[in-house]
Amino acid sequence: MEYTELAWLMLKKHHSIDDICRRTGFRRDLVERMADDLEKQQAVKKAERAVELAALRMERGCPMCATGYANVTTTCFPPYANADEFTDKPVDFFMRAICSNWKCPMRTLQPMPDEYTAVEYFKKGLSWVPVEGYVRLTPLGQQYVFHELVQQGLSTDDLKALGFDAEVVDRQFLIRDLDRMVYEGVDTELMCPNCGRKGEYRNAVNPATHRKTSWDCWWRVGCPSCKTRLKHAFPTQQEAKTAWENGQLDQQPKETR
């Protein structure tokens, strides 16, 4: 590798100018000019990306979170769809649109014949409305999609927002939690108040030392499945645990420093 390439690579990896001069033998003023050029290039790319994202949000923006946009992918036609439900245009693949914001549950659940249709249904917030003249999922297919989304970590609120019947969602989650208790034993320690799965302790910044090392950090509890978490951190794990298990996600610690 030439020294010029090495200098560019080190700049991109945020090495100090002194370190680059020492490794390459370049004069300091030359490396500083290279750093200025790189900063300008990155600023231009950032501006271009911002314009691109703004155009995507305008063209295919998410109606649920208003920050993401539709990402369209091609998926193999699900094996649970009944062949009798096909029209005169059976296909092996269909399109679906998913929000680019991974925190947002918005997606199209019905098979879509092309990218344009998938984006249009996504923009209207339609999940279960079948595409006219194409194909619809059978009840078995809807049940399969429901359990697939649950395994992906979608919460009860997410599934209701997508159009699933609220009573069905609550009943299915209750059955799942009861089955888990039967097979795994009744263990409510750190149980997530939203999805029922087990939460985890997470290090948080100590407001006095501004660090979160293992010996002086504060504590927060979060669910790795549905991403629910405590809004505030606590000085001890026990305090965080109590707030979490009581479902007091907005509770503030008594101690502030």
Give per-residue pLDDT as tens, 96-140.
899 998 888 899 888 787 888 889 989 988 887 766 666 666 677
Of residues 21, 99, 14, the one with CA closest to residue 56: 99
Q: DSSP E strands: which ranges in the chain?
A: 70-76, 93-99, 200-204, 218-222
- Final residue of a structural domain among 33, 58, 83: 58
Residues 168 and 200 in one domain: no
Residue 5 is predicted with a pLDDT of: 84
Q: Terminal CA-to-CA distance of the chain, rounded, Å?
A: 51
Q: DSSP H helical segments within the chain, as ranges?
A: 3-12, 17-24, 28-60, 115-123, 139-151, 156-161, 166-184, 237-245
- CA 222 to chain centroid, in Å, comes to 15
Residues 194 and 211 in one domain: yes
Residues 84 and 118 in one domain: yes
Residue 219 is predicted with a pLDDT of: 92
Which whole number is the average pLDDT over 45-73?
86
Q: Does residue 1 surpass a pLDDT of 60? A: no
Q: Is residue 65 part of a domain?
A: no
Residues 75 and 178 in one domain: yes
Residues 158 and 251 in one domain: no
Residues 48 and 98 in one domain: no
> CA of 22: how far to CAs of 4, 5, 6, 12, 34, in Å?
13, 15, 12, 17, 15
Residues 50 and 135 in one domain: no
Q: Does residue 2 surpass a pLDDT of 90? A: no
Strand-strand pairing, 200-204 and 70-76: unpaired
pLDDT digits (tens, 9 = 90+) for 73-108: 887 655 445 445 544 444 456 788 999 988 888 998
Helix axes 28-60, 3-12, angle to 10 degrees: 50
Residue 76 is predicted with a pLDDT of: 67
With a pLDDT cut of 90, the percent of the chain lying above it is 12
Helix (H, G, I), strand (E, B) or coil at 82: coil
Residue 60 is encoded by which pair of tokens?
A: 């295919």
- Final residue of a structural domain among 184, 215, 236: 184
Residues 199 and 150 in one domain: no
Residues 160 and 127 in one domain: yes
- Final residue of a structural domain among 31, 58, 85: 58
Which whole number is the average pLDDT over 205-226?
86
In sequence order, the 6+-apart residues with CB closer than 8 A to the CB of 90 are: 83, 135
With a pLDDT cut of 70, the percent of the chain lying above it is 84
Q: Does residue 165 surpass a pLDDT of 90? A: no
Using alpha carbons only, give the angle 43, 46, 48 rounded to the nearest 5 degrees: 110
Indicate the number of domains in the chain: 3
Q: Does residue 226 surpass a pLDDT of 90? A: no
* Euclidean distance between CA atoms 85 and 94, whole angstroms: 15
Of residues 113, 117, 120, 116, the one with CA closest to residue 63: 120
* Euclidean distance between CA atoms 249 and 51, whole angstroms: 37
Whether residue 215 contacts residue 206, with contact meaning beta carbons closer than 8 Å, is answered with no
> Which range has the worst mean pLDDT, 20-24, 87-91, 168-172, 244-248?
87-91
> CA of 211: how far to CAs of 120, 214, 218, 255, in Å?
47, 9, 9, 17
- Residue 252 sits in which domain range? 190-257
Q: Is residue 240 part of a domain?
A: yes
Residues 161 and 224 in one domain: no
Which whole number is the average pLDDT over 39-51?
86
Q: Is residue 64 part of a domain?
A: no
Which residue has better confidence, 29 or 215?
29
Residues 76 and 47 in one domain: no
Q: Is residue 34 part of a domain?
A: yes
Residues 52 and 78 in one domain: no
* Euclidean distance between CA atoms 187 and 184, whole angstroms: 8
Which whole number is the average pLDDT over 55-83?
77
Residue 155 is predicted with a pLDDT of: 84
pLDDT digits (tens, 9 = 90+) for 179-194: 766 665 556 678 888 8
